């Protein structure tokens, strides 16, 4: 019997038989079964274990489904890439679209879809996708470059230039310098196509200052500067490449072209010879060397020439121009007499390349008449006696070569050299 200071033990009631169960006992002394408290704890524990197992299994199957979707997305994306390489943009667009259905948040897939739509000439759809991507990442270099190409296709010059500049200054995931260089080259060519030559030159000067590391980019830079009639800076680009690789035949050939444009025929001959030496099979190099040597041989403006040699060269140039004028007239069935054109059938008919049939005969006749008037004063002896006639005689030769170039494009090496001298004279007189 408990004392006054002791507490009576707490008894539990068995839910099965109703007998009293001591608090510290897990089983009923009468029927031997578990008490309800312990049973409830076990039930709760089991329930929790089942819930956790269900969550784990659910997550497993969700992840498995996601992995399957990602795998399908990659497969469809690869099919799209193969279709693009095969120049099948319509099929590529459908493949990219299917890939997006499995991976809707993949920006790379969205960009490739836009590029495929562009290639398929579905510009409105492509623009919608690109603008959506641009709003999310306005500094993305590839998105901006693709938008620039799209706006160029649509004829929106200002927008195209804006996006090109964004691409040049934008963020690229890998090799940003290479991508920015490519974007600037593309912008320069686009500006040249639109007649914006000063702006194109400014962009190329940025590249020249940055000195592209890729030899192909350095060559392209020199070629574009030559197209912009900037041989001095083109030569800088070629020399920068030759400083790294003195055996680069294409760089030597480009340097020769730059020297030709600058009228420095001695250096042009040296550079062209180095190009042939570095690569005897380089297309055009040997012809360029022959041209530079011919220029070196016939140029009457070469410094240090005595009067007699200068007079001989001018007289030979006059004779060559006269021969070319007569051969071109014969090839075009043009009579140099004022009566006009004689066709094989006896009628008047002349079709010339780059010159209207009605004006070519008149132009050739006028040149022929002018040549007859200068013939007596264009001999070596007469030119030595009258040095003031040297310049007018060469101007006549240049006029003949310029006029006949679009009419009779096939010409001798000497005539090619004379035309080069004429073109250089035109550039320096501007």
pLDDT at 197 over 50: yes
pLDDT of residue 350: 37
pLDDT tens per residue across span 305-315: 999 999 999 99
Q: How many domains are contained in the chain?
A: 1
Residue 354 confidence class, pLDDT cut points 50, 70, 90: very low
Alpha carbons 202 and 406: distance in angstroms, whole number? 32
pLDDT at 345 over 80: no
pTM over 0.75: no
Q: What are phi and psi of 86, to 5 degrees?
A: -85, 5
Range in 12-21, 80-89, 415-424 the model is least confident about = 12-21
Alpha carbons 41 and 62: distance in angstroms, whole number? 31
Give domain status of residue 203, yes or no.
no
Give domain status of residue 85, yes or no.
no
Residue 61 confidence class, pLDDT cut points 50, 70, 90: low
Q: Which residues pair with 140 in a beta bridge?
A: 171
pLDDT of residue 21: 57
The three-state (H, E, C) secondary structure of the chain, written as one string: CCCCCCCCCCEEECCCCCCEEECCCCECCCCCCECHHHHHHHHHHHHHHHHHHHHHHHHHHHHHHHHHHHHHHHHHHHHHHHHHHCCCHHHHHHHHHHHHHHCCCCHHHHHHHHHHHHHCCCHHHHHHHHHHHHHHCCCEHHHHHHHHHHHHHHCCHHHHHHHHHHHHCCECCCCHHHHHHHHHHHHHHHHHHCCCHHHHHHHHHHHHHHCCCCHHHHHHHHHHHHHCCCHHHHHHHHHHHHHHCCCCHHHHHHHHHHHHHHCCHHHHHHHHHHHHHHCCCCCCHHHHHHHHHHHHHHCCCCCCCCHHHHHHHHHHHHHHHHHHHHHHHHHCCECCCCCCECCCCCCCCCCCCCCCCCCHHHHHHHHHHHHHHHHHHHCHHHHHHCHHHHHHHHHHHHHHHHHHCCCCCCCCHHHHHHHHHHHHHHHHCC
Residue that the structure tokens 């030759």 belong to: 242
Alpha carbons 359 and 336: distance in angstroms, whole number? 13
Give domain status of residue 384, yes or no.
yes
pLDDT of residue 38: 54
pLDDT of residue 24: 58
pLDDT of residue 318: 97
Residue 11 confidence class, pLDDT cut points 50, 70, 90: low
Query: What is the Cα 346 distance to its own chain's centre?
Result: 52
More confident of the two residues 51 and 201:
201
More confident of the two residues 31 and 128:
128
Average pLDDT of 364-386? Answer: 94
Q: What are phi and psi of 11, to 5 degrees?
A: -110, 145
Average pLDDT of 374-384? Answer: 94
Percent of the chain clearing pLDDT 70 (strictly above): 81
pLDDT tens per residue across span 234-277: 999 999 999 999 999 999 999 999 999 998 999 999 999 999 99
Alpha carbons 327 and 180: distance in angstroms, whole number? 52
Give domain status of residue 279, yes or no.
no
Residue that the structure tokens 């008149």 belong to: 362
Q: Are 272 and 251 in contact (CB under 8 A)?
A: no
Alpha carbons 188 and 168: distance in angstroms, whole number? 12
pLDDT of residue 69: 61
Alpha carbons 108 and 100: distance in angstroms, whole number? 10
Mean of per-residue pLDDT scores for the chain: 85
Alpha carbons 218 and 244: distance in angstroms, whole number? 11
pLDDT at 401 over 70: yes
**Cα four-point dihedral sign 102, 108, 114, 120:** negative
Q: Are 406 and 356 in contact (CB under 8 A)?
A: no
pLDDT at 162 over 60: yes
Q: Are 281 and 271 in contact (CB under 8 A)?
A: no
Q: Are 102 and 69 in contact (CB under 8 A)?
A: yes
pLDDT of residue 424: 87
Highest mean pLDDT among 58-72, 177-191, 343-357: 177-191
Q: Which residues pair with 34 in a beta bridge?
A: 27
Residue that the structure tokens 């080259």 belong to: 185
Alpha carbons 79 and 82: distance in angstroms, whole number? 5
Residue 210 confidence class, pLDDT cut points 50, 70, 90: confident
Alpha carbons 382 and 378: distance in angstroms, whole number? 6
Range in 10-14, 269-273, 327-331 the model is least confident about = 10-14
pLDDT at 1 over 90: no
Give domain status of residue 58, yes or no.
no
Give domain status of residue 205, yes or no.
no
pLDDT of residue 12: 60
- Enclosing domain of residue 398: 307-428
pLDDT at 301 over 70: yes
Query: Token pair for residue 334?
Result: 């043009």
Give me the count of residues in the chain: 430
Give domain status of residue 260, yes or no.
no
Give domain status of residue 117, yes or no.
no
Percent of the chain clearing pLDDT 90 (strictly above): 62
pLDDT at 220 over 90: yes
């Amino acid at each position: 019997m408990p004392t006054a200071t002791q507490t009576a033990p707490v008894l539990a009631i068995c839910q099965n038989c109703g007998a009293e169960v001591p608090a510290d006992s897990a089983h009923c002394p009468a029927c031997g079964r578990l008490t309800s408290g312990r049973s409830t704890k076990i039930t709760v524990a089991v329930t929790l274990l089942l819930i956790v197992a269900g969550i784990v299994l659910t997550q497993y199957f969700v992840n498995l489904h996601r992995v399957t979707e990602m795998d399908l997305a990659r497969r469809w994306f690869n099919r799209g890439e193969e279709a693009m390489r095969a120049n099948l943009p319509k099929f590529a667009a459908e493949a990219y679209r299917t890939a997006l259905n499995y991976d809707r948040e993949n920006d790379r897939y969205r960009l490739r879809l836009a590029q495929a739509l562009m290639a398929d000439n579905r510009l409105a759809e492509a623009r919608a996708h690109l603008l959506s991507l641009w709003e999310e990442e306005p500094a993305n270099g590839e998105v901006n470059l693709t938008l620039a190409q799209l706006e160029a296709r649509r004829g929106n010059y200002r927008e195209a230039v804006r996006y090109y500049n964004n691409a040049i200054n934008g963020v690229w995931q890998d090799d940003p310098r290479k991508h920015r260089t490519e974007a600037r080259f593309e912008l320069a060519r686009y500006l040249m196509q639109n007649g914006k030559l000063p702006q194109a030159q400014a962009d190329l000067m940025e590249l020249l200052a940055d000195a592209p590391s890729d030899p192909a980019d350095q060559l392209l830079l020199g070629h574009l500067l030559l197209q912009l009639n900037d041989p001095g800076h083109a030569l800088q680009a070629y020399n920068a490449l030759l400083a790294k690789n003195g055996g680069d035949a294409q760089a030597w050939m480009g340097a020769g072209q730059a020297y030709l444009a600058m009228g420095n025929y001695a250096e042009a001959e040296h550079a062209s010879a180095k190009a042939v030496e570095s690569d005897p099979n380089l297309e055009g190099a040997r012809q360029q060397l022959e041209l530079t040597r011919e220029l070196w041989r016939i140029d009457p403006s070469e410094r240090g020439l005595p009067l007699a040699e200068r007079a001989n060269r001018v007289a030979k140039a006059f004779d060559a121009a006269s021969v070319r004028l007569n051969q071109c007239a014969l090839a075009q069935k043009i009579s140099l007499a004022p009566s006009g054109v004689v066709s094989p059938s006896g009628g008047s008919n002349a079709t010339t390349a780059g010159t209207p049939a009605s004006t070519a005969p008149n132009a050739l006749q006028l040149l022929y008449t002018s040549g007859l008037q200068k013939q007596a004063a264009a001999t070596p002896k007469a030119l030595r006696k009258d040095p003031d006639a040297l310049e007018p005689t060469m101007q006549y030769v240049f006029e003949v070569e310029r006029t006949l170039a679009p009419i009779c494009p096939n010409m001798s090496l000497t005539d090619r050299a004379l035309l080069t001298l004429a073109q250089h004279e035109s550039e320096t007189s501007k």
